Amino acid sequence: VLAAEKVKESGIKNVRFVAGDANILAEFDTQSKCEVIYINFCDPWPKNGYRKRRLTHENYLCLWEKLLEDNGSIHFKTDNRGLFVFSLEEFEAFGIRMEKLTFDLHNSEYNEGNVMTEYEKRFSSMGVPINRVECYFN
């Protein structure tokens, strides 16, 4: 709700919010494509039996590829190193080009212009490094 209020106040018109599981996005009309998909501090689903629920699993990568316009990108941030390593492996296996990869965003050259989420502020204040990467489908 807070994010929706901020978007409304800003006057931005090209943002949509969806309440529900990410799988609902498969039902969206793919005529309109996204420039960027931001995946910020998603549930890491730490048990191996739940890996298919991770938003960076190959099943979701197929969905993101359909929703992104040519040269569109995924910007992924997480505090969870295990999820980040898993994601890098999934991106590589899927043939995704990775740029601006860092295991410590706030102490990297990629921090300029970074918009911090509430989770990011919380984890950073506790000294937890933030992992970040930009991904491009080839």
User: What's the pLDDT tens digit per position in 55-84?
Assistant: 999 999 999 999 999 999 999 999 999 999
Q: Name the residue among 108, 100, 99 with its Cα closest to residue 138.
A: 99
Q: Is the pLDDT reported for residue 127 higher than 80?
A: yes
Q: Which two tokens stand for residue 1?
A: 């709700």
Collect all residues with Cβ–Cβ distance below 8 Å to 116 and sequence separation of at least 6. 124
Residue type, 22: A
Task: Give 128's pLDDT tier (boundaries 50, 70, 90).
Answer: very high
| pLDDT score at 92 | 97
* Number of neighbours of residue 72 by Cβ within 10 angstroms: 17
Whole-number mean pLDDT of the chain? 92
Catalytic position from the list 21, 29, 43, 70 = 43
- Asked if 70 is an active-site residue, the reply is no
- Going from the C-alpha of 29 to that of each of 23, 26, 35, 38, 60, the distances in angstroms are 13, 8, 15, 19, 16
Q: Name the residue among 80, 71, 68, 77 with its Cα closest to residue 105.
A: 77
| pLDDT score at 15 | 82
How many alpha carbons fall within 13 Å on the CB side of residue 91? 23
CA gap 90, 99 in Å, rounded = 15
